[in-house]
Amino acid sequence: MTGAGTKVHLTREHGLALLAQMLRIRRFEERCAELYTQEKIRGFLHLYIGEEAVATGVMETLTPEDRIVATYREHGHALARGISMNAVMAEMYGKAAGCSRGRGGSMHLFDRETNFYGGNAIVGGGLPMAVGLALADRMQDRAALTCCFFGEGAAAEGEFHESMNLAALWKLPVLFVCENNLYAMGTRLDLSEAETDIAAKARGYAMPAEAVDGMDVVAVEAAARRLGTEIREGGGPRFLECRTYRFRAHSMFDPQLYRTKEEVEAWTERDPIARLRAWLEEVRYLHAGDLDRIEAETADEVEAAVAFAEAAEWEPVEDLMTDVGAEART
Ligand SMILES: Cc1ncc(C[n+]2csc(CCOP(=O)(O)OP(=O)(O)O)c2C)c(N)n1
């Protein structure tokens, strides 16, 4: 993708790569939902279906040195960052070959190799961590940027306000990405927040902030790239609110009584995958067989990950207490 301003030029290759990445995330999670009902995956499971354009678009703009902090709805971020699907699936199963050695599960994916700091069950918990990582990078003269993903529900937490303030005060290299899907579990944004414009809250801390259509992967990527460049040039933190929607329930235990079928259907019409696909067809980037090929490759990757997780070992019982507490100092 080229073009830093409002005009974006997307090559066929890049357009197909974005489509393939979003499909990978979606098919992986659809399979996870099935595995959950079969009790292969236990504990909590929060699906990102509908929101794929956010992780996919933003992650395209980051370098390997950059750091990522995410929430408990982070399978998409982990996959888009480049953690292998095998390692993510094994983690979902709780197997020792998982990216957190089977100890984290769905909500605590972690990978040092890719600077992926998780995976955090605490709403807003990643925000101060992102500020700390960025402060450490600055103090140690590293050129990395920290990208912090969180939901709009986190904007109601004290940690959000403390993090905005310190990041802006110290001009830290953080890209805050708010995934505003309108609901915090069953609580609609306008029933819990007096100010529903989340980007405006960041501006209240003197941080440049903007909102983008989170169902449009190209728009997300363009905005993240532009804001990332400003951060890398020493401009201090930037805030990107992505207006998005989760098509599925909050987690696997949620009858969704707080929203209507019509509302879900209306958002489904804006499905980021269908939308990119339609655009790729319109500009004749999507050739006959492209979609079938991408779907087949994705299905193979997902099934290979399931086979990997099935065959992977459980942690030996004798290792159960390792890394649970700090070693006693003598
Ligand atoms: C500190 C804290 N308070 C409450 C919860 C319970 N909880 C889990 S998810 C959630 C909603 C968060 O919504 P949002 O931040 O908008 O993210 P989304 O689930 O929509 O992606 C809540 C309140 C929690 N995990 N941590």
Q: Which residues pair with 188 in a beta bridge?
A: 183
| Chain mean pLDDT for the chain | 96
Q: Which residues pair with 175 in a beta bridge?
A: 147, 238
How far, in Å, is the centroid of ligand 1 from the Cα of 74?
Answer: 13
The helix/strand/coil state of 175 is strand
* pLDDT tens for each residue of 284-318: 999 999 999 999 999 999 999 999 999 999 999 99
* pLDDT tens for each residue of 102-123: 999 999 999 999 999 999 999 9
For strand 183-184 and strand 187-188, is the pairing parallel, antiparallel, or unpaired? antiparallel
In this prediction, residues 70-97 reach a mean pLDDT of 98
DSSP state of 238: E
* Neighbour count for residue 299 (Cβ, 10 Å): 13
Nearest atom in ligand 1 to the alpha carbon of residue 46 is 19
Nearest atom in ligand 1 to the alpha carbon of residue 251 is 19
What phi, psi does 233 have (nearest 5°)? -80, 5
* pLDDT tens for each residue of 235-256: 999 999 999 999 999 998 899 9
Q: Which residues pair with 180 in a beta bridge?
A: 243
Residue with tokens 């804006």: 270
How far, in Å, is the centroid of ligand 1 from the Cα of 123?
Answer: 5
Which residues does 17 contact at the CB level (< 8 Å), separation at least 6? none
* Neighbour count for residue 304 (Cβ, 10 Å): 13
Check pLDDT > 70 for residue 4. Answer: no
For the CA atoms of 279, 282, 288, 291, the dihedral, rounded to the nearest 10 degrees, stands at 10
Q: Which parts of 4-61 fold into alpha helices (H)?
A: 12-37, 52-59
Which residues does 157 contact at the CB level (< 8 Å), separation at least 6? 123, 124, 127
User: Residue 328's pLDDT band (boundaries 50, 70, 90)?
Assistant: confident
In this prediction, residues 174-198 reach a mean pLDDT of 97
Check pLDDT > 90 for residue 323. Answer: no
Ligand 1 atom 4 nearest Cα: 123
Residue 156 CB less than 6 A away from ligand 1:
no
More confident residue, 2 or 9: 9
d(CA 86, CA 93): 11
More confident residue, 9 or 29: 29
Euclidean distance between the first and the last CA atom of the chain, given in angstroms as a whole number: 56
What's the pLDDT score for residue 13? 97
What's the pLDDT score for residue 214? 98
How far, in Å, is the centroid of ligand 1 from the Cα of 154?
Answer: 7
Strands of the 146-151 sheet, one edge to the other = 67-69, 146-151, 174-180, 238-243, 209-213
Structure tokens at 215: 């169902």
What's the pLDDT score for residue 2? 65
Share of the chain above pLDDT 70, in %: 98
Q: Which residues pair with 240 in a beta bridge?
A: 177, 210
Check pLDDT > 60 for residue 6. Answer: no
CB 56 within 8 A of CB 275: no
